[in-house]
Structure 1
Amino acid sequence: MDDTVVTVREGKLRGKIKSDFAGNDFYSFQGIPYAKPPLGKLRFKAPQPPEKWEGVRDATEDGNECYAKSNTYSRSEDCLYINVFTKQIHAKELKPVMFWIHGGGFTTGSSHSIIYGPEYLITEDIVLVTFNYRLGVLGFLSFEDSSLGVPGNAGLKDMVMALKWVQNNITVFSGDPNNVTIFGESAGGASVTLLMLSPMAKGLFHKAIIQSGSALNGWVRGKRSTVYSLARVVGIESNDDEVILEQLQELSIEDLYHGANKLGEPFLVGVMRPFGPIVESNSSESSFINEEPISLLKSGRYQKVPAIIGYCSREGMFIYGLCSKQPSTLLSDETIVPYWLNLRIGSPQYNSAVQRIKDFYFNGKDPLENTDDIFRLYTDNFFLLGIHNIARYLQETGNTPTYFYKFSMDTGLNFMKSFLAIWEPGACHADDFSYLFKNGFAPEDIEPESFEHTGIQRMVRLWTNFAKFGNPTPDPNDKILPITWRPMENQRFNYLEIGEELEMNVDPEKEAMDFWNNLYREYSASRAKL
């Protein structure tokens, strides 16, 4: 493994050699441009193809993170970089490609290797790709005037551009462009589902893994036409869209984000965020998505591929942890009633919904007497309901297998729960990917045969088996996976619990899911009578 120079369409790259979790060498290529830097007049716009370079480009370090309030490394508008990790270069037999989309609520995060180190997944015979995409106002500002070329969803279009880069270049790294699995967690999981729904992404991937997020989660959607509020807070006095765009493109990145942050970035179910994925209006350029996700799912008009989808057993610990930092938000109405119930805040119906939800989860008791009841509420209304329902639609309207899981493993690798100082049992939101990626919060030494070691082996094997074969448990004699993971069936919601043991069950949280879906149907019917 001496030669670390490869040639992609845009030029030559020099990578480096690293060691994986098992002590074997692999190639690492980082900070590769997959699009033209979105600067100046390209700010807020769809990504443009990458430019070529002369000589050999250094690809041994992480590229800039996309600008966001809480990103902590080298943050910049020049951030559209991709990373590739592989065991072989120019191999005759091409390997399955796994394309990771990071989380962060569409407002923060990156592919930085301190969080998403490849050392676990690359022990298997796959090619791993990670990348950055634009966040917050830079990724999701939109104008109604289609002639301006800013219809929204630039951050999602970055993902499409990165997938096109994979199609053009991944064979150099021994990756198979005809066997690409997209996978992601939280906003990354929601992005996977949005890519399945988008005509722009058709044919760019072949399998999907959806972790702890979906297009149907209330916190995913952004508002339309927030540009006028943004213009006011940054001091732009014009009402002319063209003038507003020009001045926003000339504004310093610091002033732009200072203004955007004044509009708030709520991670709530009852309030739509100012900058996030939207359904685009008809425009002169290609739309990422211009129909409601629920309509596309119900009608079966999406890219049908084999899928894994699931959640962590106590996702809601994450919301509880956020609310605990701002106690006024804990159990506030905006964290209880999802906006998609379409109830006017303060109306009798809205107040009735608040009380019914509290009665279901707390049964008249003080919720602070048993915080697990709060965890369950926030797990269900922030995460599980949207994940559960999208899985049902995939099974009902698709023609490919859908595998559902519940992740309940609870070890020293559950970094998010530790970060939030929550010690109750269960797996918090974002606790699962620490078993797929090595990160800076993991213990230095993971003992063989420990629960942590077993958890890593199982998650890596399940996910990479799926990428290779479209089946997470193809080998009945695999000692690491002593179970057959059965996909969902008509009238039978099969799921795999991934905990200290692997166990097949049916109907995750059925009573709670029935409660929420019945609530939605009831209020939809009452609105139709008005």
Structure 2
Amino acid sequence: MNNILVTVQEGILRGRLLTDISGNLFYGFQGIPYAKPPLGKLRFKAPQPPDKWNGIRDATKEGNEPCAKRGDTVKGSEDCLFLNIFTKKITPKIQKPVMVWVHGGGFTNGSSHSQVYGPEYLIAQDIVLVTVNYRLGPFGFLCLEDSSLGITGNAGSKDVVMALKWVQNNIKEFCGDPKNVTVFGESCGGAIAHSLMFSPMAKGLFHKIIAQSGSAINALFYGKRSTAHLVGNVLGINGNNESKLLERLQKMPADELLLANGKVENPQYVIGKTRNYGLVIEKPSADEPAFLTEDPRALLKSENYEKVPLMLGVCNRDGMNIYGFIKRKGNGFTLKDESIVPLGLNIKQGTPLYDRVVKLVKEFYFKDKDPLEQNDQIFKLYTDNHLLVELHNYVVQHMQRNHFPMYFYKFSLDTSLNYAKAAFSLKDPGACHADDIFYLFNSPLYRGNKPLSSMEKLAVQRVTKMWANFAKYGNPTPDKYDDLLSADWKQVTQKKFHYLDIGGTLQVKTDPEKEAMDFWNSIKLISDAKL
């Protein structure tokens, strides 16, 4: 079939037929522009609505990937605001739940490319899948202090909002239900997805959230407000005049900007330092819509945010990636003090309190043994201080109010699909940060054409069914008699911190890592009291 045509508000799209994990056919429409190319004066700005086109647009191949620096080279394009849609049907009278994927990559790398995020696994669950590109690095997350210039930050997050508006306007044509949209993402993609709950721009555009190993609560996912000036220093531009700085940064070629940006110190994988690019709380601007006007961590107390069903969790050895990046860089940074004390504690480095906390943490995790001979304890420490402590406290705050359904998980599946761990040449047991992705998406880049083993296929079917169930019903295990899932994943209640351990079997448990979480709560009390 060469004439697979769908008409959207901007024009006609030609798609293609693909085959899912079970050998069934589905439709793919790729490289669909959901916003105007963010070029020239639109660089760093909020996205604009897409242009219409004449004739039939070929949607049978990927759109441009976002501009990013990889090693010593620059790849991708600023003209990158494209999305992909995968669906079983193209009969508009049928409406299926919609799942919109926001990829990770530390706000500086990644894309929605099907070589990594292939739809063949999830689409078998009879949902409509949308995968989205958004701007990265300086193009997506640079901000200036002078709000009159309209560069208030979070442009990449605003891209996701624009994609959700496009979905609202057009997804019916792909049998998607605009009244049942679940946004899900991993790492910084999880942080962006979760932050939609706190964004005035995103109200009414989504109905459920899944945040995998990342949230708007974790200090790790917030960026500096000063990075534009740091880049300006590299270029020899006086940052005191932000108008001139912006003019220069908007006019220079994208690759030159990224190469200059690469010369600025990147603390992305140092827990105790703020990353160059990430979420920021925006200053009011007359010309620029704001994605985040208040800190989500403060909004929790006021309860002024969108309350929708939420599923979130971590991999059981999430912190392997911190260890892996440090080891890869070969800078001997493992277990130095600034990698031990999480940003969220707001303890100033070099103070007696900071030194005391470092000592207490080392004693708790390593006792009197050599830390560098205890890889698993290092992974546990980096999992806890990197993500779990702040997520745990967020869930506890939720338990006190319990205004909407929340499901928590710990992902411990460990098979040959754990490509993130393999990328660091780690053979220790456990699931690394991002390993859960590969049970949701087919990734030809990593697995080639190798078929799934029977155990891997079972794991994929379980994980995709739970994620799709949540999108469909707001409950990942609605049928207690389901032979495939065989678990009743209980939501968090006011009395119990329930969670699901997703491993070789599915086990419902309570109070994840209780001893460690109690320890970190004692550290927070010391920090708050400045003892």
In which range does the TM-score fall when normalised by the shorter chain? over 0.9
| 1:324 partnered with 2:327 | yes
In structure 2, the CA distance between the partners of 1:73 and 1:439, relative to structure 1 (3 Å rule), is: farther
Aligned to 1:48: 48
Rounded to whole Å, the distance in 1 between the matches of 2:399 and 2:40 is 44
Work out whether residues 45 and 154 of structure 1, in 8 Å CA contact, stay in contact via their aligned partners in 2: yes
Structure-1 separation of matches of 2:130 and 2:400: 31
How many angstroms apart in 1 are the aligned matches of 2:521 and 2:103? 29
**1:374 Cα shift?**
0.3
1:309 paired residue number: 312
Correspondences of 1:227-266 after superposition (within 5 Å):
227-237=228-238, 239-266=240-267
Asked if residue 97 in structure 1 is aligned to residue 101 in structure 2, the reply is: no
CA distance in 2, matches of 1:261, 1:502: 43
Measured in 2, the distance between the counterparts of 1:446 and 1:407 equals 23
More moved, 439-448 vs 143-152 = 439-448
Deviations 1:47-66 (CA, angstroms, capped at 9, x unpaired) = 01101111111111111111
Alignment partner, residue 171 of structure 1: 172
Report how far residue 182 of structure 1 moved: 0.6
SS in 1 for 2:220: coil
1:447 Cα shift? 4.9
How far apart, in 2, do the equivalents of 1:230 and 1:446 lie? 46
CA distance, structure 1, for counterparts of residue 13 and residue 158 of structure 2 = 25
1:333 aligns with 2:337: yes
* Equivalence for 1:277: 279
Q: What secondary structure sits across from 1:302 in the alignment?
A: coil
SS where residue 7 of structure 1 aligns? strand
Residue identity opposite 1:271 in structure 2: K
Q: Deviations over 1:258-295 (max 9, x none)?
A: 22122223222210112211111222232111212211
- Aligned residue type for 1:39: L
1:25-424 equivalent positions in 2, closer than 5 A: 25-70=25-70, 75-237=76-238, 239-266=240-267, 267-284=269-286, 285-325=288-328, 326-424=330-428
TM-score, scaled to structure 2:
0.96
Is the contact between residue 231 and residue 237 of structure 1 (CA under 8 Å) also seen in structure 2?
yes
**What is the deviation of 1:443?**
6.4
Residues 218, 268 of structure 1: 8 Å contact kept: no
* Residues 166-192 of structure 1 deviation map (CA, whole Å, 9 limit, x = unaligned): 001100100000000010111111112
**Any conservation in 1 of the 2:69–2:75 contact (CA below 8 Å)?**
no
With structure 1 as the length reference, what TM-score do the two structures score? 0.96
Q: Which amino acid aligns with 2:339?
A: T
Structure 1 unmatched runs, 5+ = none
Amino acid in structure 1 at the alignment position of 2:157: L
Aligned partners of 1:417, 1:256: CA distance in 2, in Å?
32
Q: Does 1:455 align with 2:455?
A: no
Deviations 1:351-387 (A, max 9, x none): 1111111111111211111110100000101121222
CA apart distance, 1:150 = 0.5
**Residue equivalent to 1:522:** 526
Aligned residues with identical type, % of pairs = 54
Deviation at 1:389, TM superposition (A): 2.5
- CA–CA separation in structure 2 for the residues paired with 1:2 and 1:480: 37
Distance of aligned partners of 1:2 and 1:274 in 2 relative to their CA distance in 1, 3 Å threshold: closer
Say what the alpha-carbon RMSD is for the aligned residues. Answer: 1.6
Aligned length: 526
**How far is 1:475 from its partner?**
1.5
- Runs (5+) with no aligned partner, structure 2: none
Aligned residue among 473, 483, 486 for 2:490: 486
1:91 deviates by 3.6
Partner of 1:12: 12
- Using the TM superposition, give the Cα deviation of residue 437 of structure 1 relative to its aligned residue in structure 2, in angstroms: 0.2
Give deviations 1:145-175, integer Å, cap 9, x for gaps: 1111111110111110010010011001000
Paired with 1:521 and 1:68, the residues of 2 have a C-alpha distance of 41
Whole-Å separation in 2 of the counterparts to 1:360 and 1:443: 42
Q: CA separation in 1, counterparts of 2:293 and 2:368?
A: 43
Query: What secondary structure does 1:424 align onto?
Result: coil
